[in-house]
Every structure is written in C-alpha cells, then in structure tokens.
Structure 1
C-alpha cells in the first residue's frame, strides 16, 4: 500500500531545524555527513506538522535544540489547534500532529488511509501540570484542598476563604474573612477540559458536570482568554482563585490537592508520575502509547491535575529520507535532552524514563511504505 503524498499548509510557521543524531555504526573517526554538524547524521528534507498551541513554546524549544545538530533539515509547525492538527494528519496535509487529546479509535482508523495499515505512532511527549492557584496576600504556605472542596469553590458553593471546608484542611493557617473570586477561561481550552476531567472523576456529585473544554454556563464567573489572561486577572484580584498551567502562574500561591491520605504539591515530577502510573488506552499496541489519566489515584507522589499532549506520527512514509527525518526529530522530542529543553522553556514535566523507552521503541517501528 502506498501512503498519500502529503501537501503542506502554506500558512505553517517555518523554522529551520537540526535533527537529533541517530546512533550510527562505526568509529568516531567517520567524517561528518554533508549538511550536518559534529554528531549529526546528515538527515535532510522538510518535515511539516501542525496542531496544539499549548505545545507551541515547547515545540519552539525542540526545534531550537534540534537545529544545532542537523543543518540539512527544515521543520514547519503550524499551531492551529489540536483538532485541526489531527484532521490535517488524517487528510495528508501534515506529516505529524501535536494534540492535547489523543486520537480516538475512529480517527486512528481514518488515519490508515494516509499512514498505511499500521496507522499512527502516538507519543505522550508534553506533560503540563495544571495548578489551582490563588491570590491571598499574607498566606505564605500552600493551602490544602481535597477534590470536593476544589469543585465546590469553582461551582460557587463555597464563597468565602474562611469557610469551614477550607479551614478544616488548613489548621494553623489564618484564612481571611474574604470573598472568593472564581476566575475561569472564556475560551474553549484543553486546560479547562483536563481540569474538569479531574473534577468529574475525583469530586463526584460536588461537580456534577461532564468534562468539556468550555466552562459550564451555570458556573459563569470572572473570566479571560488563555492561560496568561486568567492568570493576569487573578493576579490583579485579591481573593481570586484560578486554574492554569503551572508555567504561567507567576507569583500566585498554589493548592496542594488531596491524593489518598496525603496532599500532593504540584511539581513536574509528581505530574509525570501521574502519567506513568496511568493505564494505557490500548495495552496491546506497541505504537499507540496514549494514556487514560487516573484522576483518582491514591499513589503517593503523583499529582492528578495534569494535561498530557501528544505528538502523532504515521507508521509509514513514502521514502527512506522522510522516514529518517521523522524518526530523528521524534527521537529528539522524547529524549532526555529534548524533554529537558522543553521543561526549561515551557515549564513542562519530563516524561518518565520508562515512557521514553517505550516511545523510542514505537519510533523505531516507523518504516517505508510498501
């Protein structure tokens, strides 16, 4: 079967990049291939993708790190949104997609027309902890809340900071007699979807809504667009509480959420642990590594309010040059260096070593279409 010839979006953001060196046989005295720098493998060509805007900062960091190795490669990434990225890969517009949500079974089946009978390689490559953050001058230590309390606050059932439901979990903390101002996203967002997934799964009847990207209309409060917008509003509003990606929260305080019998502080390591301890969507697949995050885990050291974004590739491409380029770039993204680079730039959590090993094994299965 032959893979569709891909057509590339003219609106893509074009960035010259270098690719991660592939492990090569032979001694270190081999000459550097034309078009690469020391340590490069000489891969060349153009790799075009699109999708998640949440990954945009990380993607820029990956591209900047990648270009220091391979001079003959060009990568284009268009941050058009997760759904458009997945649709573009399925349609043959993009060679890979970034997405805040994994492809579902129907999308995976549709992708086979472009990607070949093996379908897609789906890698959890970007992990972003979502903070429950607040603006309470004078409260120095992290506040503690269980899922039910978080849900009742954002639903408007708990309206004051010294409410007994909060005070009982924060003995010794002097909570102000001050109204709570809830701040939420005005736009449809992956951050909202992941936050409400946590509330739906962990808070039970205290939330009472299905997870979705749009904030529930009956819980409307103060709102703004994007992570930076809601954080900016919360920072200006004493008594505010907000949910946002950890890298965006600035000087706001953060809530430790209850996990099992303890309270988990928000850290990149705890967010990565939640992903590592979550079940795979398709345990029988060696290329679909999507996970179903366990929002109700009692595992110590895990933080359950987390966004996992994927990079999705085809299992087959039309020629060896493209295969080499795709595998090289994908390998860089999931490598220890690639994950560290994204973390420094975007504040994301690194994938666990075991996830990195499974991801590399999945990348190794990418081959030329027959």
Structure 2
C-alpha cells in the first residue's frame, strides 16, 4: 500500500514529530508500507468535562499526540489537549507532581525508582496505569550497492553492531542469503551518538533476541564499541546513505525517506519484511506484565518473539493515567480523549509514521479506559 504524505503531517514531522528529543530521536512519515489490519474505527464517547487537558512527556509520541488531539477536538467540539514534548523523565515527573493530567513515557513507571508509589499518592491512593498507546517500528537500514534484498538474524545484527562481523561477504551472512552475491566490502556501522530511546530499544531487542551474542546491555547510550556516532535519526540515515557498505538502526520513516534498504529479520520462522502489517502482527498477542488494567508490556517477550510474519523491533510509548482519583470533570475528559485516541484517531497514524493498534490490543485498551474513574 502506498501511503500519501499529507502536508500537515510533513510540517509537524519536520518540526520534530516522532522525535525522541529527550531520548534523542526524530521522525518523518514513511512512503511505502504493507497495510496493517485496522482496528475498530470509533466507539461511544461521552464528551464533556474539563475543556483543556494538559499532557507532557516523551517526544517519541509527539506526532501521534498531535493526531490524537486533532481527532479529539473534532469529536468533542470545544475540548482540547495540549501536549508538551519535554522527554519521558519530565512526563513522569510532571504527572507525579500533579502538574499534568496525562504523562507520556517510553518506559512504564518504575517501582525501583519509587515512581509507582509516588504516582499512587498523586492519584489519591489509587494506582496509576501504564497504557501503551503509541507504537513505531525501527528498521535495520543499510546501503550496499547491488544488494537490494538482505536477510539478517538477530545474532548477525548483534555481531555486526558489536564488531564480531566486519565484512559484508562474511560466511555467516552469506549462509542466510543463498543466491545473493555479497561484495567483499567493509561494513561501516553508524549509531546514535546522542542519548536515544531508539538506541535503548534497539539494544534491548538485541539483548532479548540474541543475548548469547549481545552482552553489552541496553540503555540510551550505544554500547557496541564499534562504528561512528551521529546525532539524531537524520544524522545516521544521512550517513548510511552516503557510504556504500553502511548500516544503522533508525526509525522506519527515515529509512524510507532516505531511500535506504531495510533488512528482513529472521527470528527463526523465516525472513520478515518490515511493513505496517508485520509490525502490527507483533502486537496482536503481547505479553502484559502489569496486573488488571495496568497494561505494562513485557518487551523482552515481544523482542524475542519467533512468531511468523511478525516484525518485533518496535518502540512503545505509554500514557500514564490515574485509575481513579481525578476530579470528576478531569476523569470524564481523560476517558473521552483516550477513547478517541484508541479508535477514531487510529486511521491517521500510519501517515505520521506510527502503527495502528491491532483489534486484539485495542480491546484491552478500551476496557482499561472505560474503567478509569
């Protein structure tokens, strides 16, 4: 399916949409995707309550929150949500401090850091819930003259990014690419030189899917020990595009926009191309660590998944909300906004570089949203 670029989204994204500025990423809209199965388009929404909701946090979801806010204003005339992309840490801090109605974070509340207890205190003694509402795929993008199709396993990706494999015609790469002539060319690794949520998720993926090979751990700083660092997603994408033999990890849209080739990942059930459909398939049966309506995901299980036709390398961003404890006007508006975000707004996520939630997961989200009091 060809996705048409909308001018409104382009201007948003050019200004930093889907940028993990606190996490060090930025984003543009993808050009060409496979079509994901669309979730239910709408649901009953009880508009009203607080007219101007306030939210803050992860820059990764800025573009999606713009989409959500527009759909909310259209569905509930006169009601708005203002979102400040100040980074996940600030989103959690401002939510705990009662300064915002919704916190945005690319990590759930941490019990070890005391965030779970502090958030419950803010919510008048009620638990806060982590609701994953925004998902975006990460591409293993490369530029290799004469090689437009390439298969990599998680182990091979790990070895490339930790220096275990340094040449494109390495026998291990050739073994999973029969019939492909690989050049005798040095692999040039580019990584995010700034702190990046994309780096964190990429390294978590390698730890989960290729833990025997990737022992460097995770975090927002790249630990592979090889390659050249570049600032932001545009930096690594531009660098790969200018070097024959280059490779990086980058948000899907940047690989599309720069005309980079994207490796198919074989996690054990055959090579999987990155499309909206295969990324959405990874979310159909998520493992949830949280209890009840706290939908905290087990990303290790997602990243280590070997499901066929499923692309597991995704970013997930949470909306942090009170399960109860809002004043009635705020609770009503929060529920209306989240319901619209999970339904009406889903149709406009793909042009902005995100993956609509599949029906199966949407049902879980709507159940949790309805339970907010």
Give TM-score scaled by structure 1 length: 0.83
After the TM superposition, which of the residue ranges 60-69 and 252-261 deviates more from structure 2? 60-69
Distance 1:238 1:62 in 2: 40
Q: After TM superposition, which residue ranges in structure 1, 4 or more long, deviate above 6 angstroms? A: none
Paired residues of 2:283 and 2:361 also in contact (CA < 8 A): no
Partner of 2:322: 314
Distance 1:72 1:354 in 2: 31
1:22-77 CA-to-partner distances (Å, cap 9, x unmatched) read 737xxxxxxxxxxxxxxx84555111111111111111122222222233213111
Distance 2:327 2:164 in 1: 59
After the TM superposition, which of the residue ranges 164-173 and 115-124 deviates more from structure 2? 115-124
What count of residue pairs does the alignment treat as equivalent?
327
Q: CA deviation at 1:310?
A: 1.0
Distance 1:109 1:202 in 2: 32
Task: Tell me the secondary structure at the aligned position of residue 271 of structure 2.
Answer: strand
Distance 1:355 1:65 in 2: 20
Partner of 1:245: 251
Task: Tell me the secondary structure at the aligned position of residue 321 of structure 1.
Answer: helix
Alignment of 1:23 with 2:44, yes or no, is: yes
Partner of 1:327: 335
Q: CA deviation at 1:359?
A: 0.9
Seen in structure 2, the aligned counterparts of structure 1 residues 21 and 175 have a Cα distance that, compared at 3 Å, is: closer
Task: Tell me the secondary structure at the aligned position of residue 364 of structure 1.
Answer: helix
Alignment of 1:133 with 2:154, yes or no, is: no
Partner of 2:19: none
**Structure 1: unaligned runs, 5 residues or longer:** 1-19, 25-39
Partner of 1:16: none
Alignment of 1:255 with 2:276, yes or no, is: no
Distance 2:319 2:186 in 1: 42
Task: Tell me the secondary structure at the aligned position of residue 68 of structure 1.
Answer: helix
Q: CA deviation at 1:301?
A: 1.9
Paired residues of 2:108 and 2:296 also in contact (CA < 8 A): yes
1:107-132 CA-to-partner distances (Å, cap 9, x unmatched) read 22210111133221321111111110
Alignment of 1:83 with 2:89, yes or no, is: yes
Q: Which has the higher contact order (CA 8 A, sep 6+)?
A: 2
Alignment of 1:177 with 2:184, yes or no, is: yes
Distance 2:288 2:100 in 1: 26
**Alignment RMSD, CA only?**
2.0
After the TM superposition, which of the residue ranges 184-193 and 97-106 deviates more from structure 2? 97-106
Alignment of 1:160 with 2:167, yes or no, is: yes
Task: Tell me the secondary structure at the aligned position of residue 249 of structure 1.
Answer: helix
Task: Tell me the secondary structure at the aligned position of residue 316 of structure 1.
Answer: coil
Give TM-score scaled by structure 2 length: 0.83
**Structure 2: unaligned runs, 5 residues or longer:** 1-40
Partner of 2:347: 340
Distance 2:296 2:271 in 1: 27
Distance 1:309 1:83 in 2: 13
Question: What are the within-5 Å matches in structure 2 for residues 41-190 of structure 1?
Answer: 41-105=47-111, 106-141=114-149, 143-190=150-197
Q: CA deviation at 1:220?
A: 4.1
Paired residues of 1:22 and 1:328 also in contact (CA < 8 A): no
Partner of 1:277: 285
